[in-house]
Structure 1
Amino acid sequence: MGNSSIDEKVSAAVTLGLFAAWALHDTEELVAGPRWVRENVPVLRERWPGVPDGVWRAVEGVDEREFGVAVGVMAGIVGAGAVAGWASGGRSAAYQAMLNGFGLHGLVHMGQALAVRGYTPGVATSPTLVVPFAVWARGRLKRAGVLRAGRGWDAVAGLAWAGAATVVSHGVARRVVRARG
């Protein structure tokens, strides 16, 4: 048989599955996020008085419409990355950075829940879907011989991708919502 792992094809479940996993995860955030912010930010402000007011105002300033538009923008970004992964057989550096960022952002959600000592939007699907999907997909890419060598920089790039995509999504959403009044 030889080294068949190098010849193994990367399935659409690995590449396009990133979009499906993201969609399920962001559905949780979309359903729970705005209400959670309204109910919990006042308590968190009291718990952490050292956090600048500007941070709290920014979090409270995202209403349901803006959040929904931001999720839509992120859908385009993640969808494009998943398609790039599919078209390249999983080799796309952008796809792999998104996959890494997706998995690592799940760990961030779990850290947030620990920090607030309770539920935060996104934490239910992080240990049950986000992190397991990312680990599984990376394993499939590795078996196929297309996973870029893991370095500390890859983790930083993945988190930077996730952070930048979030900032872009919310920036576009804020402009769209304000333009429509």
Structure 2
Amino acid sequence: METGNERVGGAVTVGLLAAWAVHDAEELATVPGWLRRNVPQLRSRLPAVPEAVWRRAGSVDRRRFAAAVGVMGTVVAAASAAGHLSGGRSAFYQSAVDGFGLHGLVHLAQAAAFRSYTPGSVTSSVVVVPYALWARGRLRRAGVLRPARPRDLATGLAFAGVAMAASHVIARRLLFERVQ
């Protein structure tokens, strides 16, 4: 068993980037088409959502989505690097692991609410959530895991949401599209 003085291996820290890449490959392959097919049903099920959101969601193309995935990849790579360099102690890395795992749970909740497949739900169940639980266990055994307070978990999920939204804005700017 590892002690609190040992570093966490690369499988744990770089594993975040690997798990993210598998998950986002699923999303990259499915999101644009799934949105085009399902925005009408979502619009009727969620009438409180502003019409501008539905227009934007229905117009997401593969090129823009791929650019956003690339931007998000830099954030995840930075978190993985911070984790690797700190032996898993980095608050940035640990928040990213928490946010990634909670992001996976959101995907599973979306699929349950939709009562059907939603992009990201397959890899959330077999990669994202298992990776996050495994990584947290390894960090705990190494003695470097920060206690998971509800506030910290909310921060991790909020960080994931903000990073995702920012990646889409940056992608639109990189592609010289007008950002509203």
Q: What stretches of structure 1 of length at least 5 have no aligned partner? A: none
Of residues 158, 167, 170 in structure 2, which corresponds to 1:169? 167
Letter in 1 for 2:67: V
Inter-partner Cα distance in structure 1 for 2:28 and 2:106: 17
| Counterparts of 2:119 and 2:90, CA distance in 1 | 30
Cα RMSD (Å) of the superposition?
Answer: 1.5
Q: 1:157 is matched with which residue: 155, 167, 179?
A: 155
- Match of residue 96 from structure 2: 98
Distance in 2 of aligned mates of 1:5 and 1:99: 21
Quote the sequence identity (%): 56
CA deviation map 1:154-177 (0-9, x unaligned): 111110110111011001001112
CA distance in 2, matches of 1:120, 1:105: 13
TM-score in terms of structure 1 length? 0.93
1:125 match: secondary structure:
helix
Normalising by structure 2, report the TM-score: 0.94
The 3-state SS of whatever aligns with 2:37 is helix
Task: Report which stretch shifted further, 50-59 or 133-142.
Answer: 50-59
1:75 match: 73
Equivalent residues of 1:8, 1:143 under 8 A apart: no
* Distance of 2:48 and 2:77 partners within structure 1: 38
Distance 2:12 2:2 in 1: 18
CA contact (8 A) 1:21 1:130 kept: yes
> Which one is further off, 27-36 or 52-61?
52-61
What are the within-5 Å matches in structure 2 for residues 1-181 of structure 1?
4-178=2-176
SS at match of 2:92: helix
Which structure 2 residue ranges, 5 or more long, are not aligned?
none
Q: Give the Cα separation in 2 of the matches to 1:97 and 1:165.
A: 12
In structure 2, distance between residues paired with 1:92 and 1:6: 14
Contact (CA 8 Å) 2:36, 2:59: kept in 1 or not? Answer: no
Q: What secondary structure, in the 3-state scheme, does the structure 2 residue paired with 1:5 have? A: coil
Is the contact between residue 4 and residue 142 of structure 2 (CA under 8 Å) also seen in structure 1? yes
Distance 2:103 2:60 in 1: 20
The verdict on how the C-alpha distance between 1:82 and 1:127 changes in structure 2, with shifts beyond 3 A counting, is same
SS in 2 for 1:163: helix
Distance 2:2 2:128 in 1: 28
Query: Which range moves more in the overlay, 51-60 or 161-170?
Result: 51-60
Q: What is the identity, as a one-letter code, of the residue corresponding to 2:158?
A: A
| Worse overlay, 37-46 or 3-12 | 3-12
Aligned mates of 1:53, 1:15 — CA distance in 2: 40
Alpha carbons 1:84, 1:95 under 8 Å: kept: yes
The separation in 1 between residues aligned to 2:165 and 2:174, in whole angstroms, is 14
